[in-house]
Amino acid sequence: MATVRLWTDAEVAADARVRAVFDDIRATRKSDFVNNFWRALANQPDVLERTWSNLKAVMFAPGALDPLTRELVYIAVSAVNACPYCVHSHTAAARAKGMTDAQHAEFLSVVAMAMQTNALATALQVPVDPEFQAG
Amino acid sequence: MATVRLWTDAEVAADARVRAVFDDIRATRKSDFVNNFWRALANQPDVLERTWSNLKAVMFAPGALDPLTRELVYIAVSAVNACPYCVHSHTAAARAKGMTDAQHAEFLSVVAMAMQTNALATALQVPVDPEFQAG
Amino acid sequence: MATVRLWTDAEVAADARVRAVFDDIRATRKSDFVNNFWRALANQPDVLERTWSNLKAVMFAPGALDPLTRELVYIAVSAVNACPYCVHSHTAAARAKGMTDAQHAEFLSVVAMAMQTNALATALQVPVDPEFQAG
Amino acid sequence: MATVRLWTDAEVAADARVRAVFDDIRATRKSDFVNNFWRALANQPDVLERTWSNLKAVMFAPGALDPLTRELVYIAVSAVNACPYCVHSHTAAARAKGMTDAQHAEFLSVVAMAMQTNALATALQVPVDPEFQAG
Amino acid sequence: MATVRLWTDAEVAADARVRAVFDDIRATRKSDFVNNFWRALANQPDVLERTWSNLKAVMFAPGALDPLTRELVYIAVSAVNACPYCVHSHTAAARAKGMTDAQHAEFLSVVAMAMQTNALATALQVPVDPEFQAG
Amino acid sequence: MATVRLWTDAEVAADARVRAVFDDIRATRKSDFVNNFWRALANQPDVLERTWSNLKAVMFAPGALDPLTRELVYIAVSAVNACPYCVHSHTAAARAKGMTDAQHAEFLSVVAMAMQTNALATALQVPVDPEFQAG
């Protein structure tokens, strides 16, 4: 179904550059499962390396936002961008990081709320209040 | 600049239905400041009442997500929808709820990350792994 | 395929809060069929109640726009948001409310037209004429 | 502010190909006012001719949808695409074609409603009911 | 799966207006294969004629941009609009026009890059530098 | 106007980490001018470093796509994402890399064309032809 071929584990094993990224994915996530997104990116080693390197820094390093909050922001972006793959994979990731049903429900409420006020503000072309300007 | 007129405090005071909403906005937020979004919606009392009632329930009620997390999800949606007003007002709200510069930076990183993997997953039309399906 | 479980009629019948919404959906639409959207929202009773309550007020109450016009606006938003479920369900709803093939064809023409001038105005960053400003 | 120069009436008058389009815009709309969108497109005569020719056929020819309904669909698309110029110009056009404040309010309600259910259907990845499939 | 019926070759052959467009598609592309997009548009002959006429002028006429560059721009738009059909059909078209794997990889990198800086510029609401203004 | 403060040259000079990035921007582009986007990102050194490092690799390294093609793809993404800053800065960049008025006009035509067929394919929910599937 993809516009490119998805790499099998055997193909990955036979390519040192791709295998190094897959090994790091498995080690970082502490799981043998590598999802289709990376198997599609394997066709473009430059993109694969840069994307994984960025993702690892942004989503796995300790920081000022807890891992679940980062996943919720990720799903929000993915839902607005209408990316089925991304919604599926990051909803699963949020659950793996402890998202409860109550949190999922509230998250959906906030996204739905933002969608409607976004459209209203745009349709009404509301000018930004000076109080909201930085500096 | 708006496609509708923005209501002044004097006009609000003269309309019982609109005034009731504005009074509740001020009481709920514990602030006299009412931003332009609501002054634009005042032209459509039905929309004003429904929008504020929903927003109050979603953003101000205690719940499973803390107020700052809700604001970050709100800004994420607003950024993808390219709504300048919404980005400005909810970034200001996030700061008022304690968002630090470090949290803002990490939030920006997650949004930027999600944007790029969204586009890659869509451009590659990656099929959803069975492992991500619910139920 | 969904990120949540879809509720069966038996599960709905066993939950008073969800059943009340489903009963109102069936009564309002004068049909026993309840589509998957509501069966997915059943997992989040707050979101289910708020969404149905809003939808009923916006789409089923008599008003200044006829029901078919409201559906056309709904499909237009859904198409730009690239929501397959929403395009399918509201195209079906528009047909049920009398949309003819000729109206569908014209609707498609207007959406396609708006898409292209939207992109041109954005790519050219055309400044808004003072004549278009309100008030 | 634009990424291209906006043509003045004098420049238009000096270019036979552009002038022909502007003359037809004025005659079709029965107004001397030609808005900035066309003054920006004047730099690309091919695009100008094709865009105006399409727009005239879609928006001005008699058809199965009345002119106001077409404008409402146009604004809906423009709001979701976050095009300030398009929202402004087509809201003005809708008013010129008789849109009342009550109709504007209802239109905004429908757009806001669609936005939120679009996001919910996408975030939940609701599968399309067989009942909605054509043919 | 579509919201309209897809026309078979037999149905196309029986309708002079639709057949004329299909004949021109086959002649222009030098191929007997006519993809589902046109079979869906066949239900709306006005839209079919206008869309094909525009597409032929824009994508098949000799011009200042080579055919592959046009396809890359087309895929970029389609990916951001989250249109699976369009991504599939124009990625296939780009390959047919000579796109190499290396070009595809670079194209994906540029799209991913633009997505992230777009979101950052919007989330930060960066004011346009005077140096970027035209004229 | 931004949601963050824009750094002046004096502030940049006083911060070793930010200055290093600005020095590399100036050296890579062979120009003293550093636009507001980077002055806004200076508030988030991690994001600044990662974004510039990625951008330099994607847009400035020699590769399979010429620099102008990359800019056209960049503007296309930016236009669909409705990012005024990005449209302005990358249209200026494309001109600096030799984009002619004729190329700009053709580019606009392709973007406008893709927008309309995207919406049609989505509104019609056209199923992907097996011929377009990879592998």
Can you give the pLDDT of all 135 residues of chain E as single tens digits?
A: 799 999 999 999 999 999 999 999 999 999 999 999 999 999 999 999 999 999 999 999 999 999 999 999 999 999 999 999 999 999 999 999 999 999 999 999 999 999 999 999 999 999 999 999 875
C105 touches chain F (CB under 8 A): no
Q: Which domains does chain B have, with CATH numbers?
A: 1-61 (1.20.1290.10), 65-125 (1.20.1290.10)
Residue D128 amino acid letter: V
pLDDT score of B135: 52
Task: Report the distance separating Cα E110 and Cα A132, nearest Å.
Answer: 33
Instruction: Give chain B's mean pLDDT.
Output: 96
Contact residues on chain F for B111, CB-CB shorter than 8 A: none
Position F100 pLDDT exceeds 80: yes
Nearest CB partner across the interface for F135, out of A5, A54, A133: A5
pLDDT at F85: 98
Q: Which of E60, E87, E65 is nearest to E76 (CA)?
A: E87
Does the CA dihedral F75-F77-F83-F86 come out positive or negative?
negative
Identify the pLDDT of residue F1.
Answer: 75
pLDDT surpassing 70 at residue B65:
yes
CB contact under 8 A, E104 and A44: yes
DSSP structural state of residue B4:
S
Q: What is the mean pLDDT of residues D43-51?
A: 96
pLDDT at residue A133, rounded to an integer: 82
Note whether F118 contacts A: Cβ–Cβ < 8 A.
no
Q: How far is C32 from chain A (nearest CA, A)?
A: 26
Q: Does A13 touch chain F (CB under 8 A)?
A: no
Do residues B39 and B6 make contact, with C-beta atoms less than 8 angstroms apart?
A: yes
Neighbours of chain A (3+ CB pairs under 8 A): B, C, D, E, F
Q: How far apart are CA E28 and CA E40, in angstroms?
A: 19
Nearest-CA distance F13 → chain D (Å) = 31
List, for chain A, all residue ranges whose pLDDT scores fall below the cut of 70.
135
Distance CA F21, CA F18 (A): 5
Residues of E in contact with F88 (CB under 8 A): 128-129, 132-133
> Which tens digits make up the pLDDT trace of E90-105?
999 999 999 999 999 9
Average pLDDT (C63-81) is 98
Please write the tens of the pLDDT for every residue from D104-118.
Answer: 999 999 999 999 999
Residue B97's Cβ-side half-sphere holds a number of Cα atoms within 13 Å equal to 18
Q: Report chain B residues whose CB lies below 8 A from the CB of F77.
A: 119
Contact E4, C88 (CB under 8 A): no
Out of B107-116, C30-39, D115-124, E126-135, pick the least confident. E126-135
Show which subunits contact B, needing at least 3 CB pairs below 8 angstroms.
A, C, D, E, F
The verdict on B55 touching D (C-beta cutoff 8 Å) is no
* D88 with B46: Cβ contact below 8 A: no
Is D80 within 8 Å of A118 (Cβ atoms)?
A: no
Q: Which tokens is C109 given?
A: 């023409």
Q: How far apart are CA A45 and CA A39, in angstroms?
A: 11
The CA distance from C120 to F82, in Å, is 11
| Angstrom distance (rounded) from CA F13 to CA F71 | 30
Whether residue C3 and residue A119 make contact (CB cut-off 8 A), yes or no, is: no
pLDDT of residue D135: 52
Q: Average pLDDT of chain F?
A: 96
